[in-house]
Structures are given as structure tokens and as C-alpha cells.
Amino acid sequence: MRKSNSVFKTAFVSEAGAELANNDYFAYIEDDDFACYVLASGITDFETSVAAKEAVEHLILSFEEKPSMAKTSLLQYMRDTNERLLNDSRTQRLKASVIMLVTDYEKFRYVSAGNVRLRMYRQGRFFLQSSDMSLANDLIQHGKSDTPLDRHEERHNLYTYLGKKDFFQPFASKVYKLNDADIIALYSKGLWENVDAQELDEIFAEASDKPQESVDYLEEVLLSRQPSELKSYTIAAIFINKAFRDPEREHKRLRRIKIAIIVVVILIVVAIIAYVLHMLHQNKLQELKDELDNTHGLIAAESYQRAQDSCKKALDLAKELRKPDDIAELENDLIILDSIVEADKLYNEKNYQSAYEDYLKALRYSDGTNKNLRHYLQRRLKVLESQMNVQQFMSLGDYLMQNSDYDGAEAMYMRASSEAAALHDQDGRNKAIDALEKVYDKRAELRKDATQKLDDKKQKAMSDAMKKGDDLLAAGDIDGAQKAYLDARNLSDNIADRTQTNAALEKVTAAREKKAQEEKTSADELQKQYDEANSIEQKGDKSFDDGDYLAAQMYYMTALEKFNALMDDTKVKVLQGKFELANEKNSELQTKKSDAEKFEQDARNLYADKNFTEALAAATAAKDAYTELGLKAKADEMSALLDEISTDQAIAGTLK
């Protein structure tokens, strides 16, 4: 239908020139709806080559099988033909320059590879020309050479042509509309090397509507030059005396306009909806950012209850927006905040051990980036350790009080009061003061009972002391006798009694030599008491060296009581220092144990997630921590876990 309503006239001439055979080839087909014109020029060092013929035939056949003006289709025709030439190369490489023009009688597109040229005229004037794919053309285009292209020594140095193995990149033009009286010329190097473009323009500017006349005249001009090495030449002229005009074009145009309007309206509606959704999404993102900033600000301000509520809102928004990174971060923050809020509640309820565990859990989940949070947790843990020290001192004081060791109980209660005062724990300090008052009341009660009994028995006691002194002196117990007489003198209330006791004491003077001899025996007994106290202290040192700091505290407390009884203030101060150091070490041991448990839990979680490398590192850290703590069973358990992780890592590597 299109062909019958248009007038296309084609003429060509193709000769071998001075070569043994014609290495150019031109062919075309004109169907009802499409026409295809192909010109190829063989590239060969031999006298003859079938590359141009095979290229043209394959392109024509490819077009006939699936006529199309689409750019992708034309490029595919070229790639298929290139593969065909590569596969058919046997005795020699088949290479050719080619240009292919396809039209629907209303418009046209061309595709080219090499230096076969297309030149178009409209209303007798030059309108369009193809570009050679040669080094010479690139040098001229980039201003690196002034030599005319048709005379340049690199004009046949092509970077794209049919038969190229690698990086085959043909050029496909855009679609051009055809007008009545348009002329399109296709010609090979045999012509353009000897006839310049200006002469072509002059010939086609004066052309009639008969292409054969122009083609013949061009050949005459070429041959009149009598070139010494005239290569194969081909010139094909396509005269579009009348281009096709679509009778339904106006209807189609109106239909396209209507469709375009509908599409535009739809696009506007879609754009509005998309904009609204985008703004809602942006609002949600801003809300999420605000909640994140609010959460971090509240954490920095140590307002953890409000930070917990803000974090929950942010987590809900992150889940709604499907932000996996924010979700993971907020879930971790929420674990920390939940632990802190619960720990604060337990702390206010005086449940210090549980509060300590929750603060420690929050510290394990903190990644170290928020230094203020870690400082807060470390500060709270230190306060709790002091609070637990207060409880321990109170418990030791109660134990000593129950065993009637009022001096030891007083010392423990005093330590508890000092620790509580340092913590500004008024309640704990009040409890310690109340306990001290009980100690003092007990002492006062004992003194009162002793005074009442002394009033009744004082005289009898003095008499008994005198008699006891006489008996002991008679028995040779000089010290006992002296002490008994001194007790009697202390109990005496009048001069007569004192005279009597002084006379009795004079009896002791005679036995002083004997007493001096026996003092050596008393010194040995004192040394025995020192040795016993030192032995208990050494047991405390051994327990300290073995890491059993609680047992060390008990030994140090017992030794302290004995040195206190021996009135050795120096040793008492030393043991007080050891007791405090054992208490600090016990607190550090609990912290290290918590760290080891964290490493172990991290290793197991990473192992479950198949993160073998980090799991090995965490398990190794846990093993080292348990080994340092002397927990051999746990260290062996970590060694077994390391073997399991290493085995699974090796299996995973083998599977990969």
C-alpha cells in the first residue's frame, strides 16, 4: 500500500575498476511497506573477495525475515552478519565496509560500519552525510589533522567493520523524515577517493527525476580522471520523487493527542498520589528522626524512663517504614533502656543484687559509642558495689553481734555507716547508727549488771580475792596472787582494807625472783598467740592468692580480732587494709565473671548466626577470662566450643 502510493526510483553502477574482480556489491528490495538498500565494499589484500556479497545477501535476508526500522533490529542485523562473516572465514578473513538504508517510504534510518558513505540532498542542496569509522575521520574531527579526509593516509584504518572479532560497534542513525524530491546517494571508496563531495553536490543539484542519468554522469566524471589505481567503485542513487503520505495521519494525530491528554491526566493523578504518599513517607521519616533525636537527647540527659517511651515510639515507626538498620539499633537501645529502668526500680526497692545484674546487662549491650551512657552505668555499678559493701558490713556486724563480739560488731557497723555516708544513703546510715546504738545499749546493760552485782558482792569479792591471793601465793602462783591482791585493793573502800591488801602485796615481793623466771614462760605463751594470729592471717593471704576473696575477708576479720586482743595496733591497721583490699577484689572478681559470661553469650549468639570468625574471637576471650578467674571447668567448656566452631567453619568453607 505504501509503495503504490509513493514514487521511489533507484539506479546504480558497480564496476571492478582497475582490479581483477569487483569487490563491491549492491542490492535492494522494495516491498509494499518497507524498502531496504545495502551497499558493501570488500576489505582484502587479495585480488578478489566474497565478503561484500555475503554481507549484502545476509543483511537483505535478515531484513526480509523480519522487516523493521527499529534501531535495535538494525543493529542486530549487523551483529548477526558480522558473526556470519567470522564463521565463514576459512582461507582468508572476510571483511567489508557496509551501509544499510531502511525506509517505510515516509521516513528512513541507516546503519553503517566502515567507510562506505551515504549523502542526501533536499531541494537540490546538501542535507545529510554519514561519517567514516576511521582513524583519519577521528583525527580531523578532534582538530588533530588538516589533511582532507579523502587524501588522509589513515582513511582506511577502520575501527569498526564487518568481520571484526572484538568490540564490533556499528552506528545506527536516528529516523529522518522524507520529502518529495529528496535524493540519497550510496557510494564506495572507489568513487569518493577520486570525485570530491563538491562535484557530487553539483551533479545532484542539476539532476532530473531520472537517477540513471546522474549515475551515468558520475561514472563519466570518475573515468575521465583516469586514476592509475582505480579500485572497485559503486554509486547508487535513490530518487524519492514522491514520498508516502498517510491519509489517516490527522485522525491518528488527534487520537494520539487524546491518548496523550488521558495519559497526562493519569500521570498527574499518579504524581499527586505519589507526592502525597511521598510527603506522608517523608513526614514519617522526619517523625522517626525526631524520635531518634529525642531518645538520644533523653539518654544524654539520663532521663531513661522518658527515653524508653520515646524509643518504643521510634521502634514502631522504624518497623512501619521498614528500616532494618534503625530497627536493629532501636531494639538494642530498648534492651538497654528496659534494663536501666528495671534496675532503677530494683535499686529504689533496695534489691541491690538484682539491680546490679540489670545494670551489668545494659552495659553489655552498650556498644561503646555513647560514652555518657557507659559512664552512667559504670557509676551506678560502682554505687551498687558500695551499697552491697554496706550490706556485707551490716551482715558481718550482725554475725559478730550474735556471737557477743561487740567490739568487732562496732567496727563493722562503723564501716557500714562510713560507706553509707559516702553514698549519701541516709537510710543505710540510719540502720548502721541504729545497730551501733544497740551495741552501745548492750554494753551499757552489761556494765549496769556488773555494777549491781558489784554492790552486792563487792565486799565478798574482796575477801575472796584476798583468800584467793593467799591460796595462790601458797601454791606458788605469784602472778595470780599479785593479781588477786590487786583486785582486792581495787575493791577496797576504806583505809583499813587498803592497809590489809598492801600488806598482802608485800608478800609478793619475796617471790619476784621466781616471777621473773616464770615471765619467760609467759612470753612463750604470748608468742603462741601471735603465731596463731599470724597463721590465720596467712590463711587469709592464701585464700586471697587463690582468688577466694570472701574466705579471705573472714580470715582477716578473725586475725584482726586476735591482734586487737593482743593490742597490736600496727597489725590491726595492716589487717584492716587487707580486709578492704579483699572486699575490692571480690567486687572486681564479680565484674570479671560478668564480662566472661558476656563473652561466652556473644560467642554462642555469633556461632548460632554462623559468624564463625567473630564467634571464635568471642569464645577465645571467654576462655581467657575464665582461665584468668581460675574456673577450669568453664575454660574447658569454652575449649570444646572453640573446637565446635572451628569444625563448623571448616565444613562451611568446604561447602563453599
Residue 261 pLDDT exceeds 90? no
Question: Which cell is 613 given?
Answer: 570468625
Question: Which cell is 499 given?
Answer: 592497809
In this structure, which topology does domain 253-367 adopt according to CATH? 1.25.40
Confidence of residue 454 (pLDDT cuts 50, 70, 90): low
Helix pair angle (249-300, 304-321), 10° resolution: 160
Task: Give pLDDT tens digits for 543-586.
Answer: 888 777 778 878 888 888 878 888 888 888 888 888 888 888 77
d(CA 203, CA 507) in angstroms, rounded, equals: 166
Task: Give pLDDT tens digits for 22-47.
Answer: 999 999 999 999 999 999 999 877 76
d(CA 361, CA 351) in angstroms, rounded, equals: 16
Instruction: Please report the pLDDT score of residue 472 as a whole number.
Output: 81
Return the beta strands (E) in 94-244 as ranges: 96-103, 107-113, 117-122, 125-129, 171-172, 176-177, 182-187, 233-242
Which of 127-141, 381-395, 501-515, 565-579 has the highest average model confidence (pLDDT)?
127-141
Task: Give pLDDT tens digits for 505-523.
Answer: 666 666 656 666 666 656 7
Instruction: Please report the pLDDT score of residue 419 as a whole number.
Output: 73
Instruction: Please report the pLDDT score of residue 234 as a whole number.
Output: 95
Lowest mean pLDDT: which of 217-226, 559-568, 636-645?
559-568
Q: What is the CATH number of domain 3-246?
A: 3.60.40.10
Closest C-alpha among 168, 210, 200, 208 to residue 9: 210
Give whole-number Cα distances, 243 to 126, 210, 496, 609, in Å.
Answer: 18, 16, 161, 71
Task: Give pLDDT tens digits for 347-378.
Answer: 777 777 787 787 777 777 776 666 777 777 77
Lowest mean pLDDT: which of 163-177, 183-197, 341-355?
341-355
Bridge-based pairing state of the strands 171-172 and 125-129 = unpaired
pTM, full prediction:
0.44
149 close to 219: Cβ distance less than 8 angstroms = no
163 close to 94: Cβ distance less than 8 angstroms = yes
Domain locations in the chain?
3-246, 253-367, 386-516+528-577, 589-655
d(CA 464, CA 474) in angstroms, rounded, equals: 15
Instruction: Please report the pLDDT score of residue 242 as a whole number.
Output: 93
Lowest mean pLDDT: which of 64-73, 396-405, 498-507?
498-507
